[in-house]
Structure 1
Amino acid sequence: MTQGLIDIHIIATNDIHGALFPSENDAGIMKAATYVKMVRRASEHLLLIDNGNALSGSVSTYFFSHSKNNFRNPMITLMNKMNYDASGISPNEFRYGLSYFNKAQAMADFPFLSANILHSRTKEPYFNSPYIIKTFNGMKIGIIGITSRGLMAKETVETVGEFAVEETVRAAKRWIRHMHDKESPDFVIALYHGGLNELVRNTDYKELTSNEAEAIIQASEGIDVMITGHQKKTLNKMIDDTLFIQAGSNMSHLCHIQLQFKGRTNTFELVNSQSELIDMTAYQEDEQLKDEVYFEEKEFRQWLKSKAGVVNDDFRLEHYEDFLAPHPFKTLLHDLLKNCTAEITCCHIPHMKAQGLSGMVTQHDLYNSYISIDHPVQLLLTGKQIHRIMERSAAALYEENGIHIRQEMLDPTVITDWRGFDYSLDLDQPIGRRVKMTLEPAAEYIIGTTDYIYRQYSDLIADGQLLKVHNRHMIELLEERLKSTLYLA
């Protein structure tokens, strides 16, 4: 360190998506570990933070949550070994249920931070303090976590009754003021698991409650760096006096910020700073970190190749738009939902990369047939509500040598398909008048669908209309069906 100067390195990751092992994507946390070690050797002052969405999103995290839930969490093991200082909280942290996250949090040597995820009863922060203070030679850095309220609204059916999610900007403003008043930090980092509204301005993904980074800055004083997430984009730019930085997803990059401070009588002055996004594909996996989870990886690889069953028909999806035409895999999903005691069923494209099923099916094939961890639910909806859901879904469809989806209007996985009553779509009609159906608008109907559809259309559905959430998710139900005589060779 130069005399009178303090050099501090900040490395931030976001949206790791559970990428534990080599081959799950092009980079992964083990390559990030190589870079972190290199920086630690060069600097005595390193702050390592994550902005959430590390605990789900890969086939390996599915395996450990589904088959090894009572064992240590390998992602937390790796993050502990890398000496993470803190993590923000993404709604996807709860994808495998609140108990899964609570076990992971209990194992972590670092805190998970969120200012606006509250106890539903006490309205106090659910995960202890929303911020921490790290001190380097007397210089204090405050780190606060903020979780997008809009994203939480689409992910929290598993935590209904546990959480109250405060309006994002209000919580950020209050806690940042409190942190400044109580701690007097010299530098503040906000871990916001949400994005910038300007990056989605021209699409229907523009949701002010999901991408409020700019609004948080405008309402709050004293944020020097805002690390954003969720948007699967890389970003490194100054807006006014605040650095906005985001490392994409799946560990393709990480954020590296270098700061230099000069000590004054009672404060520290920032005299130099630079930020960059580091491409992780250029680095090798850290061998010592690989050894930490050697046996977990071995067991995971064996499970991937193990046989789940043999399918007697061709349920492959070559492309997600295959799902829009009559397709046997879609019929299979309706059958599973109907078995959850509902005469009317509503299914949807499972995932953009879902591949369906065919022939001899391994556990890896089974996961890839659906990918998303969706639970069947029962809803009590009126005919009018069903019609409104169908019209919103049909608004993004167009016909051109088959039916296609305008992705700029609607996420393809939100497109719905219905069974149990007669209806027709006329895509030549104006939006809002494309659906004709036989249900009575004022009558009530029990619907079998998934919690994903319930969340995505939650603005049209009241909380009291959710009758039941099934404990088992769709991949488990597919596995059970594979073992029946109906679909086995």
Structure 2
Amino acid sequence: MNKEMEFNILVTSDIHGHIYPTDYRTDEERQIGIAKLAAFIKQERSKNAEVLLVDNGDLIQGTPLASYVNLYAREAIHPAVAVLNELGYDAAVVGNHEFNYGMDVLRKVMGDSEFPWLSAGILSEATNSPAFGKPYIVKHLENGIKVALLGVTTHYIPNWETAENIKGLKFNDALETVKAWTAYIREKEKPDLLVVAYHGGFERDLKSGEPAERLTGENQGYAMCTEVEGIDVLITGHQHRMLADEVNGVTIIQTGCNGMAVGKISVVLIKENDTWKVKEKRAELLRPSETIAADSAIMALTQEVETAAQAWLDQPIGQVIGDMSISSALECRKSDHPFIAFINKVQMDAADVEISNTSLLSNESRGFGSIVTMRDVLTNFMYPNTLTVLRLTGRDIREALEQTAAYFQVGKNGEVVVNPAYLEPKAQHYNYDMWGGIQYELNVAKPIGERVVYLKRNGESLDPAAEYDVVMNNYRASGGGDYLMYREKPVIREIATEMAELMANYMLQHGSIQASNEQKWRVVAEPVV
């Protein structure tokens, strides 16, 4: 006689330190955060005790709370880990941002976790074996059902991360890792269901299979679904998309970011001739609303450190004379803006150079008001980037400006608009740079690669063969964002202090800063005659 059994896989991913349902820019409540998601998790557990609960990476970094913990509360259990412990997670996957604070922090986080961290493709150079212990786990359900969970991380991390933070590690191709370990698990464990949790996303359109981005290897989810035999469920992340679908018979899920949703995969198995077979799989996203209260136990668990972080964030550290506020991210990116000019000034002062580039990291950035607090600094600089000085030629600088000009195109009414390639499948506003120390004009009505129509320094045309020292964040200096002209260029110096700390220190040292705008660059869409 046939038997059926249903169980659920619950997934979080890219939480980025969001525990409370808090907008750290305004201290207002939002429908995000793992305290909100905890209500779904507990509810699903009450309906069905057989649950596989997984976090898919980028857990410990991303909020001002996470920054406060890293600066002032490293010895305590990281609040995000404390929450996952309390909720009884079965496993977590290592995300790329887990490395941002260095291996000492990551090792402590793992040591405090009551669940294993998985990443099959990240190896120790010394042993050539998985650096964090288990590459996979097997969960035994009632009736003898075996569920295998393999964890893997995008191998593109060395293209972004500071070398010191990943010293002694080797990053194997994620797709090849999944192929090898899936075959091994199927042969050795003979699971009734095999789940791959991949901190990476989809490189192709899910329906057409057409490339959705330049195929660098950063995201390989589509290839995993179409080229690897034996995967039943693929958990994804990294791109911050909201997906619940199926590709080539593989059920897939991606849960956005910051605690926007819990992913739920319902699996029905049927027993035939003493063997369990997958009968049905369904994927859905459970999104919190105003009617879902944040879980009080989870809130209480982290209340002390949250309260301390909020008080720290509200400390004034300086004032602005003039206006550095941003009312429109698009307008800020179209011409020289006092806030961007100030960032470049701080970078140039820190690096002792005369040319700099930077980006507006998020469309939610609002610049600085008249009084600047730590909250203002950390909400504008949410990534723990450090600075690197590269020696570039004038030709390299022109190529970099051509790359950045691809961010724009001409709209239907002749206006400057954002190129859709920078919006889908993942918003990449941080890959558009704005420069200080040079004067330039970009005409986005011209073909990509021919848009730099004016480029000078101190009134003189930039010599293509001359060399210039340029400061930028470490992500960009590594070539991140397809800035291939930076790769293998001489590194003149590295500033190990994070950009948010440099900005805060500058404000504290000077007390007040002057907003200035010399209009040294602009973006236009002038018809080509």
Shared fold by TM > 0.5? yes
Flag the 1:387–1:488 CA change in 2: closer, same or farther, 3 A: closer
Q: Is the 8 A contact 1:148 1:168 kept in 2?
A: yes
> Which residue in 2 is equivalent to 1:141?
147
Distance 2:499 2:135 in 1: 34
> Which residue in 1 is equivalent to 2:84?
79
Residue among 412, 417, 440 paired with 2:429 = 412
Residue among 167, 170, 185 paired with 1:179 = 185
SS of 1:483's partner is: helix
User: In the TM superposition, what is the alpha-carbon distance from 1:395 to its structure 2 partner?
Assistant: 2.7
User: In the TM superposition, what is the alpha-carbon distance from 1:69 to its structure 2 partner?
Assistant: 2.5
Please identify, of 432-441 and 123-132, the stretch whose mean Cα deviation from structure 2 is larger. Answer: 432-441
- Given the alignment of the two structures, is residue 434 of structure 1 paired with residue 451 of structure 2, yes or no? yes
> Which residue in 2 is equivalent to 1:103?
108
AA partner of residue 386 (structure 1): I
Residue among 321, 324, 341 paired with 1:315 = 324
TM alignment of 1:63-462, pairs within 5 A: 63-120=68-125, 122-137=127-142, 138-150=144-156, 153-155=159-161, 159=165, 161-199=167-205, 205-207=213-215, 209-263=217-271, 267-281=275-289, 282-321=291-330, 322-339=332-349, 340-398=351-409, 404-410=416-422, 411-435=428-452, 436-437=454-455, 438-454=461-477, 455-457=480-482, 459-462=484-487
User: In the TM superposition, what is the alpha-carbon distance from 1:202 to its structure 2 partner?
Assistant: 7.8
SS of 1:280's partner is: coil
Distance 1:22 1:45 in 2: 28
Q: Is the 8 A contact 1:356 1:368 kept in 2?
A: no
Distance 1:423 1:273 in 2: 55
Deviations 1:237-291 (A, max 9, x none): 2233211122222222212223233445653223444332222224222212222
User: In the TM superposition, what is the alpha-carbon distance from 1:120 to its structure 2 partner?
Assistant: 4.2
User: In the TM superposition, what is the alpha-carbon distance from 1:488 to its structure 2 partner?
Assistant: 5.2
Distance 1:305 1:468 in 2: 33
Unaligned runs of 5+ in 1: none
Distance 1:347 1:247 in 2: 29
AA partner of residue 451 (structure 1): N
* C-alpha RMSD of the superposition: 2.8
AA partner of residue 406 (structure 1): V
TM-score by length of structure 2 reads 0.84
Q: Is the 8 A contact 2:98 2:106 kept in 1?
A: yes
Q: Is the 8 A contact 1:113 1:127 kept in 2?
A: yes
Deviations 1:102-130 (A, max 9, x none): 22122111112112222345443222222
SS of 1:188's partner is: strand
User: In the TM superposition, what is the alpha-carbon distance from 1:208 to its structure 2 partner?
Assistant: 5.1
Please identify, of 228-237 and 194-203, the stretch whose mean Cα deviation from structure 2 is larger. Answer: 194-203
Flag the 1:264–1:395 CA change in 2: closer, same or farther, 3 A: closer
AA partner of residue 171 (structure 2): V
SS of 2:60's partner is: coil
AA partner of residue 415 (structure 1): Y
Flag the 1:17–1:296 CA change in 2: closer, same or farther, 3 A: same
Q: Is the 8 A contact 1:379 1:466 kept in 2?
A: yes
Flag the 1:247–1:415 CA change in 2: closer, same or farther, 3 A: closer
Distance 1:70 1:389 in 2: 42
User: In the TM superposition, what is the alpha-carbon distance from 1:204 to its structure 2 partner?
Assistant: 6.7
TM-score by length of structure 1 reads 0.90
Distance 1:403 1:366 in 2: 32
Flag the 1:305–1:145 CA change in 2: closer, same or farther, 3 A: same
Unaligned runs of 5+ in 2: 24-29, 423-427, 456-460, 515-529
Flag the 1:70–1:239 CA change in 2: closer, same or farther, 3 A: same
Deviations 1:151-207 (A, max 9, x none): 663345563544332222111101111222222211100111222233487887443
SS of 2:75's partner is: coil
Distance 1:108 1:386 in 2: 45
Distance 2:417 2:502 in 1: 28
Flag the 1:482–1:391 CA change in 2: closer, same or farther, 3 A: same
User: In the TM superposition, what is the alpha-carbon distance from 1:391 to its structure 2 partner?
Assistant: 1.0
